[in-house]
Structure 1
Amino acid sequence: MPPSRRPKKPPRQPAKNRTKDPLTRVAEALERAYPAHDGADSATPADGFVWHPETASLTGVPKISRIPISLLRGIDRQADVLLANTRRHADGLPANNALLWGARGTGKSSLVKAAHEAVNDGRSSSRRLALVEIHREDVETLPRLLVILRDSPRRFILFCDDLTFEGQDASYKALKSVLEGGIEGRPDNVILYATSNRRHMMAREMIENERAAAIHDTEAIEEKVSLSDRFG
């Protein structure tokens, strides 16, 4: 009886790169969350994400903590303006960045989240806005996040709550670059909504320190104080 032969092993396929570039991983995750087609059987994507710069990743938020816009009282004019701007962005029309400033507890962040929900109501999954939260301490990574979102077919609202700058904090320069556009410009599919307890987002002592060290007072504080003016 002839000896049995072991089956030949299939040729080894080249190993896939298990260490993909972080930006590629995030882009692929967005494509999976937001399919190009919108069929009756397609899963509803997450409406909210949180940006994690240390891993260059976005974590989906299954249910955003918020209240209906109809329950917000005393801010009707602000709500109308923000709703109109958000709808324009969702429809692919030019829209402004927005800074909501005022005392604590006046409904600034609640209004942003409620406007996002109201505009998404009734929209198909492919036309729903995604709300991406970026924490205050991660503002300097904004340019990295925009690179990821730029090529997505979706439209985004970047949301930064309680945005203020203290002491020698220089991360405001990254925000200023995004608001002014820089060389590449802000992506058409992204706008920024921020809330702050300060009109100019800068601590008084921060501005005073710059004034004391400068040759011209107006030039010393213009860059920082004018930051809020770059919102729509």
Structure 2
Amino acid sequence: MTLPADQSALLTRIAEALERLSPVASTGTDWLAHPAYVWTGSTARWVERLDAPALSLLRGIDSQKERVVTNVERLAAGYAAHDMLLWGSRGMGKSALLRAAVCAADAAYPGGIALVQVAQDALSGVTDLFAALGKVKRSFLVFIDDLGFEEGDGSGPRVLRSWLEGGVEARPANVRLAVTSNRRAIVGRSMAEQDDPINPRDIVDERLALADRFGLSVGFHNCDQDAYLAIIGGYATEFGLEWEPSDALEWSRRRGARSGRVAWQYVNELAGRAGKAI
């Protein structure tokens, strides 16, 4: 039966409206195609090239580097690997080391691993991310940078514990977590519900309980003068830059700190003075 023109037009408009409300499902993310991704909380954005320094350029953190690189390589190979907490001083290469370790592991096991960075405001969607990654035949390092739970935030630490301890929302076998934080305990230094002066030991234990869920906890500390200069020397040799230790030390004094980040900023200054791009 042929509908009248006005009814046909009405049905067409209704169908178009419903299609706008319920668009055709996306084909989804190709989790095998790229070295890194950024998770927004509900969707993933792929990264064509993972930017990371060469491992040989990361100086002053040799012990930390060995442990992290070994663990990430195990994950890429499909072996048992730990969730990692990298904690400590700012600017000492925690995030750079993770990126560099993934690049090195991908070179050793091409296509075997990808980095997935999750912003702290996207943590609520990580369970959906785990569900997607668990279906993929590839290893993933889910990276949460500069994580810290403040006083009064009880849900965040509980969710993280669930991911680490094998609860119903735990990360799948091909996924491991890598978290960086400026403090070992991750949670705030003052948790009102635990501040009982009668039991100070309990307070300390509670603050460290979450950190203890990570199989690998690696501390990073401010570098001394020799380490700071060694970091600069490594970069300067790599990029063919001339430099003077006294000038490098004056730079750190003006910055009020010595760290890998400050060293890199000085090297960038050297390159600018020399008219070079790095």
- Relative to structure 1, the CA distance from residue 102 to residue 184 in structure 2 (aligned partners, 3 Å threshold; closer, same or farther) is closer
Is this contact kept in 2: 1:211–1:221, CA < 8 A?
Answer: no
Deviation at 1:216, TM superposition (A): 7.0
Aligned partner of 1:7 in structure 2 is: none
Q: Which runs of 5+ in 1 are unaligned?
A: 1-15, 35-44
Whether 2:34 is the aligned partner of 1:46: answer yes
Distance 2:186 2:149 in 1: 6
The letter for the 2-side match of 1:165 is: F
Residues 215 and 77 (structure 1), Cα distance of their counterparts in 2 relative to 1, 3 Å cut: closer
CA distance in 2: counterparts of 1:19 and 1:199, whole angstroms: 45
Partner of 2:53: 67
Give, in whole Å, the separation in 2 of the partners of 1:180 and 1:190: 13
Any stretches of 5+ residues in structure 2 without a counterpart?
1-18, 216-278
Establish whether residue 141 from structure 1 lines up as the match of residue 125 from structure 2: yes
Structure 2 counterpart of 1:181, one-letter code:
G
Equivalent residue, structure 2, for 1:202: 187
Give, as a single letter, the amino acid of the residue that structure 2 aligns with 1:182.
G
Q: How does 1:166-205 map to 2 (within 5 A)?
A: 166-169=150-153, 170-183=155-168, 185-205=170-190
Alignment of 1:1-232 (within 5 A): 18-20=23-25, 25-26=27-28, 29-30=29-30, 33-34=31-32, 45-53=33-41, 56-125=42-111, 127=112, 129-169=113-153, 170-183=155-168, 185-205=170-190, 207=191, 209-212=192-195, 222-232=205-215
**Partner SS, residue 80 of structure 2:** coil
Q: CA deviation at 1:211?
A: 1.9
1:214 CA displacement: 10
Instruction: Report sequence identity in percent.
Output: 36
**1:121 counterpart SS class:** helix
| Counterpart residue identity of residue 102, structure 1 | G
2:127 touches 2:169 (CA, 8 Å); kept in 1? no
1:155 Cα deviation from its structure 2 partner: 1.0
Deviation per CA, 1:125-169: give whole Å up to 9, x if none.
3x2x11000012222332221111111111100001101111322
Give the letter for the 2:157 counterpart.
Answer: Y
Distance in 1, matches of 2:197 and 2:134, equals: 38
Which stretch shifts more, 211-220 or 103-112?
211-220
The Cα RMSD (Å) is 2.5
Give the distance between the partners of 1:176 and 1:157, measured in 2 at CA: 17
2:105 is paired with a residue whose SS is: helix
Q: Comparing both structures, which one devotes a greater share of its residues to helix? A: 2
Alpha-carbon displacement from aligned partner over 1:64-118 (angstroms, at most 9, x marks no partner)? 2321111000111111111111111111111000101111011111110010111
Q: How many residues align?
A: 195
Q: Give the aligned residue type for 1:51.
A: W
Task: Check 1:52–1:216 CA distance in 2 against 1; reply closer, same or farther (3 A cut).
Answer: same
> With structure 2 as the length reference, what TM-score do the two structures score?
0.63
Give the counterpart letter for 2:135 in structure 1: D
Structure 1: distance between partners of 2:122 and 2:172: 19
The one-letter amino acid paired with 1:141 is G
SS where residue 37 of structure 2 aligns?
strand
TM-score of the superposition, structure 1-length normalised? 0.75
Aligned-partner Cα distance in 1 for 2:69–2:176? 13
Equivalent-residue separation in structure 2 for 1:88 and 1:97 (angstroms): 12
- Contact in 1 for aligned 2:189/2:207 (Cα 8 Å): no
- Looking at structure 1, the residues matched to 74 and 108 of structure 2 have their Cα atoms a distance apart, in angstroms, of 16
Bigger drift between 161-170 and 213-222 goes to 213-222
